[in-house]
Chains A and B, each alone.
Chain A
Amino acid sequence: MTTMQRELRLSLNQTQRVRLQSALQQLEEMTSLASAITVVADTIPVNHEDSILKGHGTSDLNGEVVATLCGVVERVNKLVYVRAQRARYKPEVGDIIVGRVIEVAPKRWRLEINFSQDAVLMLSSMNLPDGLQRRRTAVDELNMRSIFVENDVICAEVRGFQHDGSLHLQARSQKYGKLERGMLLTVPAYLVKRRKQHFHHLENYGVDLILGSNGFIWVGEHVDMNGENHILADQVSREDMADKSCVGQVTQEVHERITPLEIRTHICRVANSVRVLSALGFNLTVEVIVDTVEASISLNTDIKDILAAEFYVQTAEREVQRRVSLSRKKG
């Protein structure tokens, strides 16, 4: 059995290994799509009498449709394409993504988003800290570093492709912008499904969870969006700090901004749950993540032990039960 524990190196004992194997076996039996799976250079069976459209991951070889990727063959009306699993993120307009600023360039920021190229966030396609709608001036351009600097983690939306193929983002709402006081996790992009909702507030834990479609997942302290613009607040506090060079004042301010220990442990717990799920290769939805977090609490698992062998196996078994009950509901 291939282990496929890319991120985790576990030492399973004999019973755990058997339990894990049987759980994965069950998962395999539950999904019956073996016929749709294809590997590189396999011929995809098509009915040549109907006209077909060859999509991504296919090519033509002597009249046959041949796969150029490993993955699952999908058919939508005439279109035949191969959906690859562990490939880089393929953006679609409207996706919510999390990225990291790698460069502040003239009028734009360049972001690393696990795409084959860097994404561009133009200064003109994001809300200014003062919240006003106006032309961006040269002064705004000079102040770009007061909004985002290199290595900041940002949440934004895919706006579209420019004619030269580069990817443009926008952050025109209060929910987008800089993410602070939390953890950025990277998982394979195929594990995050496009859904209506990518921003989640886990109320029991006071934690914000952003499932970026590009496989970047943000787990951070909850930020109240309804109140004043948090970017604005941030900037004001920065200016305050600059004005009052009094050290005592600054330390007091820093003190107020410290995340409580309880929330920090919650962040770690959620983050480790995401890690164990991605190591197992399970789809990452908010329900599954919350389930895993709750299970780890009810089992009295230490935060560090979420990444250990026992919880890993238990998570696999829980997933089997979840899918069994789901299929029962359907049936």
Chain B
Amino acid sequence: MEYVDSLTGFRLDGRRPNDMRQIRGEIGVVAKADGSALFEMGNTKVIAAIYGPREVQNKGQQANNQALVRCEYSMANFSTGDRTRRPKGDRRSTEISLVIRQTMEACILTHLMPHSQVILIEFLVHILLKFFMYFLPKICFLQIDIFVQVLQADGGTRSACINAATLALADAGIPMRDIVTSCSAGYLSSTPLLDLNYIEDSAGGPDVTVGILAKTDKVTLLQMDAKLPMDIFENVMQLAIEGCKAIAHYIRGVLLENTKQLECRRGI
């Protein structure tokens, strides 16, 4: 199958190799969440909801001196062409949850959430006798829950999830180092292609998903499940980074518009 037309240079859906699909972001789509956002990349559509910072529910999970970030990725049954029942903790979704969690953890300022006394009190606990613990005040640990659900899957779901999570985190007022965005790129018919859709994704070629911190140009996510020569890989990755930057620019615009509206409506 020819993924890039050799005559015109167009891809199957009519894009040029370095074209991205149309992106759209919307803030405030879930009423009861602390922060929420919808993000579309072409036909891929993802919804993200943030709950927190709130107290850790499961005491076993708490981290030492920073907030706990949890992430749950799920795909709606109706998100793909064939309607399949998806078990909740299948390997794919667990892996993507982990990837999203690690990417978002890199940009959330988790060390701001707990209280500085935490370490001191832990130290006290160690040296005090067991029954003294009863009198110690309860130490509070915080967690942030990120729920992302894929409503329509057309390739690049994990990128879309990360972008949606960024928007939702900003909406929830959680302090972040930087805007983290993600975009994928592939290499098919000896051409680097930006933002693969489902057909290109399932062609089995290399698929590089990159997540970057837009301002500081730091990579927080890089995934590829195939082999590529070094020089080609660099080109593909560069293309993906360009895509990330374009998305970051768009996300910044959405956030600015939203912040402005909220402030103007509130008045003095």
Point out residues on A near B: beta carbons under 8 Å. 2, 4, 6-7, 24, 27-28, 30-31, 33-34, 37-42, 57, 59, 61, 66, 68-72, 84-88, 116-118, 162-166, 190-191, 280-283, 319, 323
B117 at the interface (CB under 8 A from A): yes
* Chain A residues with CB under 8 A of B265: 24, 27, 280-282
B54 at the interface (CB under 8 A from A): yes
Chain B 187-199 per-residue mask, 1 if CB under 8 angstroms from chain A, else 0:
0000000000000
* Chain B residues with CB under 8 A of A6: 28, 30-31
- How many Å lie between the Cα of A162 and that of B139 in the bound state? 11
Beyond A40-B170, A87-B173, A164-B115, whether A2 also contacts B261 by CB under 8 A is yes
Q: List 11 A-B contacts (CB under 8 A).
A: A2-B257, A4-B28, A4-B258, A4-B261, A31-B264, A41-B179, A85-B266, A86-B262, A164-B117, A166-B137, A283-B268
Chain A proximity of B216: nearest CB distance (Å): 7
Q: Flag if B267 contacts A282 (CB, 8 Å).
A: yes
- How many Å lie between the Cα of A40 and that of B114 in the bound state? 21
Q: Flag if A68 contacts B261 (CB, 8 Å).
A: no
B236 at the interface (CB under 8 A from A): no
B99 at the interface (CB under 8 A from A): no
Q: Flag if B54 contacts A117 (CB, 8 Å).
A: yes
4 closest A-B pairs (Cβ-Cβ)?
A87-B173, A165-B115, A281-B265, A84-B173
* Chain A residues with CB under 8 A of B26: 2
Chain A proximity of B252: nearest CB distance (Å): 6
Interface size band for B: 35 or more
Q: Flag if A116 contacts B53 (CB, 8 Å).
A: yes
- How many Å lie between the Cα of A232 and that of B121 in the bound state? 40
* Chain B residues with CB under 8 A of A87: 172-174
* Chain B residues with CB under 8 A of A117: 54-55, 140, 142
Q: Flag if B214 contacts A41 (CB, 8 Å).
A: yes
Q: Flag if A69 contacts B173 (CB, 8 Å).
A: yes
- How many Å lie between the Cα of A84 and that of B263 in the bound state? 10
- How many Å lie between the Cα of A158 and that of B26 in the bound state? 36
* Chain A residues with CB under 8 A of B259: 37-39, 70-72, 85
B52 at the interface (CB under 8 A from A): yes
Q: Which of A33, A68, A319 contacts B263 (CB 8 A)?
A: A33
- How many Å lie between the Cα of A331 and that of B263 in the bound state? 22
Q: Flag if B255 contacts A70 (CB, 8 Å).
A: yes
Q: Which of A86, A163, A319 contacts B35 (CB 8 A)?
A: A86
Q: Which of A34, A86, A165, A166 contacts B173 (CB 8 A)?
A: A86
- How many Å lie between the Cα of A87 and that of B76 in the bound state? 29
* Chain A residues with CB under 8 A of B27: 2, 4
- How many Å lie between the Cα of A71 and that of B142 in the bound state? 23
Chain A proximity of B240: nearest CB distance (Å): 20
Q: Flag if A66 contacts B215 (CB, 8 Å).
A: yes
